[in-house]
Chains A and B, each alone.
Chain A
């Protein structure tokens, strides 16, 4: 079974396909940015992107990502550790408190801004509505996404995640 995670191709035995995806990423690949907080797809803390679309992986199997392109939070920053402009905006605007929802929130926002770089605040609010946060009241998260949207309006933005994802630095 062929997988592509953060730009890196890998092959796993077919039997692995039946494993819970979140356990595979967290336990086998040590990609622990995706959190398991409800185990039923209710909170969004486990969100990753599959072909640029958000996916709640606590209710998915490894086989569900076979042949697809996966981006986890570990694939967002540059190999040298420089944060993606969206991540940087989360840091600067106080959008992070306990940080448990942050990876899922950033990935959902990333997928959304790739599609809707000109989104209004109200659209941003709707876009993150499937991801729960208990600390922030979402206000500064929305501020951060709104600020980062500027980056997604430049032509460079579309290539960035691909270029980043292709880097071999984030090996499982």
Chain B
């Protein structure tokens, strides 16, 4: 890549925001100060499923310091919204569909006064029976969460490939298991927060913790019934998202914008942790029935699976999450005969939506255990079984996509982990339920491939604006959002490398929905590939413009001008500084301003047959975990975790490593600790003392191996990383637990009681 060497001069771990964050100077939304600021508090009800008869706000309105109490009646535009089905409400109006529904919002002079008054709002409602089990919800005659929808079925997806009956007939063994995964909270350290500020020109400015500025703007504008140009979402440092600051975060913004617009004063809504856990959407709990046919030779002949996802009370992105599960339902394996049926279901549970992984952690927990079960049945190692079935260069996926546009690096990442973890040697030492002391030892691994970015169900494009100032300094703005992952830094590094300039020249402009084209959402691990693509396209266009102006002086053609070390180089030793060339551009009245657009290459999907080129490229990852299980207590202690990921190109290696470590940590929580628990539809794990995310002492030393195979279809060569890092450690841990105890765990989180001394024959079967 041209100018890439320049990045070596950049300080290790460079981030444009690190200094401010280390110094405590970074201002997150709740840190911002505004004159005459009002504070809001949401009002919940005791109900899980109920028809609203009346909401009385009089007592709350009379409470000290209260300025206003808002309900659905106060929404001038649309009270309902949703990216796929508009079934979610800014304020619950007809019904309460889950315990996190907000019926009203109190606005007061201080937050304490708002919270105090919120308790005085009374909801009169007719209690309806709640449906909390997704299987029950699908039965005919079930209570309906949305009567107008006609059933509780949100969506279905399917894959039909080959002939599964024939496939099972060809099999020497047929294995069938049932798996369950749990509801998971994102637990971003910063709870939802937004401040809306009425500007004198009529625009409402919104500062908030959301990873989705453009769709937030759509929801806010629709809620207020105003054009998009009347709302400006201003990028603000954000304390983590992990997919979780999408729908709910947008509603929080919309509520403050509504209040600010009605009251003519800035309004802040800062969530308490219990409100956040109660109301925000979660990772979908899954129930999966999985049947796999294999030959004596260790080849998979058929897979049949049924996937049931509890989407909770509103649609959110359940159809998209379950689509990824469907497309990737066989893991990174070639299977000729596949029959997969997937159901997204409404219940009166907390809403489920996007969370890092987006439908893959659940399926990988299933598939990566199934292959080991199958391997054991055949009598070969799980590694050998994987090698015989995994995708290779030119393989065709279960949806009929030929993997030939990029390097298929499945064996490369697998080999890297085996080597680094000394896996096969350690595998031979596993306890399999027997040890002299109290500790049982095990190691396990899992691997995956993952479709990058939105795939065939989304419109996938991104814009970047490079605006060089008359003195040669550069303003950069890209339609991706800084969620904490280092997106702005990656974009800046790519721009610097592509333009052959020092990073100090680049100033990432504070993001705003009013200055850069709507580029969709910073989700689906698409930030680097899509944003980076746009930056690379923009930089290429800028270089062309600059070269046209200076090529004559450099005694070469525009195509021959090279950009290196803040210089433009031409024929022989001829060169001109970047600054001087910009001066010449302004002199020639050619503005060094470009808007580069990267459109994702074509993808396709046929919903009926479940066939298509689902994603335009794929990434490959493998992770291993080493652990002990205490025989007496069942306590799992992690000893090490090792990961290898093909990222295409590592733009900012320290940040790449950070994504890998963070993703693995989140997967440890998924595997062993985390579960949003409810009683009768009401969440009980409402704060971080009850909902236990991994602490430093829950985690082992981790190793990250970066594999780079630049993708020809990605202008920057970079692919994706955020989500693959968190989708395979749970099955790796489950496999390690099996190798330690001799018992397989089919449900998450893995809860081991004391391991029995002697295994029954039934236990040894697996």
Enumerate chain B residues within 8 angstroms of A130, measured Cβ to Cβ: 695
Nearest residue (CB) in B for A36 is B30
Enumerate chain B residues within 8 angstroms of A77, measured Cβ to Cβ: 22-23
| B311 in contact (CB, < 8 A) | no
A42-B688 in contact (CB<8A): yes
| B189 in contact (CB, < 8 A) | yes
Enumerate chain B residues within 8 angstroms of A42, measured Cβ to Cβ: 687-689
Question: Could you tell me the dominant secondary structure of chain B's interface residues?
Answer: loop
| A160 in contact (CB, < 8 A) | no
A32-B27 in contact (CB<8A): yes
Complex Cα distance, B191 from A132, in Å, reads 14
| B238 in contact (CB, < 8 A) | yes
| A76 in contact (CB, < 8 A) | yes
Complex Cα distance, B17 from A81, in Å, reads 14
Enumerate chain A residues within 8 angstroms of B242, measured Cβ to Cβ: 134
Nearest residue (CB) in B for A138 is B696
| A5 in contact (CB, < 8 A) | no
B19-A35 in contact (CB<8A): no
| A26 in contact (CB, < 8 A) | yes
| B673 in contact (CB, < 8 A) | no
Enumerate chain A residues within 8 angstroms of B433, measured Cβ to Cβ: none
Enumerate chain B residues within 8 angstroms of A132, measured Cβ to Cβ: 189, 688, 693, 695
Complex Cα distance, B694 from A133, in Å, reads 8
Instruction: Give 1 or 0 for each of B683-720: 1 = CB within 8 Å of chain A CB.
Output: 00001110001111101011000000000000000000
A137-B664 in contact (CB<8A): yes
Enumerate chain A residues within 8 angstroms of B654, measured Cβ to Cβ: 93-94, 140
Q: Which of A60-68, A99-107, A151-159, A161-169 participates in binding chain B?
A: A99-107
Min Cβ gap B15→A in Å is 7
A98-B190 in contact (CB<8A): yes
Q: Which of B478-486, B576-584, B589-597 participates in binding chain A?
A: B478-486
**On chain A, which size bracket covers the interface?**
35 or more
| B621 in contact (CB, < 8 A) | no
Which A residues between 89 and 135 are near B, CB-CB below 8 angstroms? 90-94, 96-103, 106, 121, 125-126, 128-135
A96-B22 in contact (CB<8A): yes
Enumerate chain A residues within 8 angstroms of B697, measured Cβ to Cβ: 125-126, 129
Enumerate chain A residues within 8 angstroms of B665, measured Cβ to Cβ: 136-138
Query: In the complex, which of the residues A36, A74, A125, A138 has the most CB atoms of chain B within 10 Å of its own CB atom?
Result: A138
Complex Cα distance, B664 from A90, in Å, reads 20
A138-B699 in contact (CB<8A): yes
Nearest residue (CB) in A for B655 is A94
A102-B21 in contact (CB<8A): yes
Complex Cα distance, B25 from A72, in Å, reads 11
The one of A91, A133, A142 that contacts B15, using a Cβ cutoff of 8 Å: A91
| A83 in contact (CB, < 8 A) | yes
Nearest residue (CB) in A for B664 is A137
Nearest residue (CB) in B for A121 is B701
Enumerate chain A residues within 8 angstroms of B666, measured Cβ to Cβ: 134, 137
Top 9 closest A-B pairs, CB basis?
A: A33-B24, A98-B484, A73-B24, A100-B239, A99-B21, A137-B665, A94-B654, A137-B661, A32-B31
Interface CB pairs A-B, < 8 A, 23: A31-B24, A33-B24, A38-B688, A42-B688, A74-B25, A76-B24, A91-B18, A96-B21, A97-B658, A98-B189, A98-B237, A99-B17, A99-B21, A99-B22, A102-B24, A103-B24, A125-B696, A134-B662, A135-B658, A137-B661, A139-B657, A140-B658, A142-B696
